[in-house]
Structure 1
């Protein structure tokens, strides 16, 4: 999986983002469009029919920007516009946002219906990577 390379000042920043679920989750794999639909509010269930609860990272984080670019093809500005429209029309609310990858893992470990994304180097025994081919 290729990461997004960003220059912050003169520092090179690269994040390799993976989709994760609880180790107890029955979800074994998802298509990238299924991941995108869950995080864009177009689907609230996994293919099995179980509820899907997305957990987001903070606006402006490198991990979040890479995830949305990679899986939805949307920039931060396009994502903000997307949710403004959904909220305005009363068709949904954006995913719950937590402060960092450690919080994503904590939420996911506590609820097998959640799905999130973290940097690959943050993966540990509390979560399982879901193979999802990016766009």
Structure 2
């Protein structure tokens, strides 16, 4: 019975996980990003890829944000917050904006702005530039 319960919990939590994709405006010059380049952008180690200035944004959906940090950035949420606290405190960088769904729709009207979303929230005005 214990094994059945554990198996059910595993399947259920796997099903609930979001399929994270990185999107940008359909007219953007960005066609594809690697996981490594996404990490560098979201950790503010670079701001340009292939000569294109890219503006990364964050969601205010904490569950999706934590999954993105764990799966793509390869950090836990505490490591990520600590990293950004040091950058902001020293005045070296400003943390990317955190947006709700409507603000995301507006922000992605700008070229070369990127955002991670749940694939089920995909919009026809966007294109996927990274999918795990």
Tell me the TM-score normalized by structure 1. 0.81
Secondary structure in 2 aligned to 1:20? Answer: strand
Q: What does residue 69 of structure 1 align with?
A: 70
Alpha carbons of 1:90 and 1:98: their partners in 2 closer, same or farther (altered >3 Å)?
same
Deviation at 1:40, TM superposition (A): 1.1
Aligned-CA RMSD value: 2.0
Provide the secondary structure at the position in 1 that maps to 2:52: coil
Q: Quick one: distance in 1 between partners of 2:46 and 2:131? A: 16
For structure 2, which runs of at least 5 residues remain unmatched after alignment? 1-10
Counterpart for residue 54 of structure 1: 56
Aligned mates of 1:54, 1:38 — CA distance in 2: 7
Q: Structure 1 residues 75, 66: closer, same or farther in 2, change over 3 A?
A: same
Which structure's CA Rg is the greater one?
A: 2
- Map 1:1-135; keep pairs closer than 5 Å: 13-47=16-50, 49-58=51-60, 61-100=62-101, 102-108=102-108, 110-131=109-130
Structure 1 residue 61, shift from structure 2 partner: 1.4
Structure 1 residues 78 and 124: CA distance shift in structure 2, 3 A: same
Secondary structure of 1:130's aligned partner: strand
Report deviation, 1:6.
8.5
Question: Cα deviations across residues 25-75 of structure 1 (Å, max 9, x unaligned)?
Answer: 11111110101111111111122x1211011012x6111111111111111
Size of the aligned set, in residue pairs, is 121
Higher relative CO (Cα under 8 Å, sequence separation at least 6) belongs to: 2
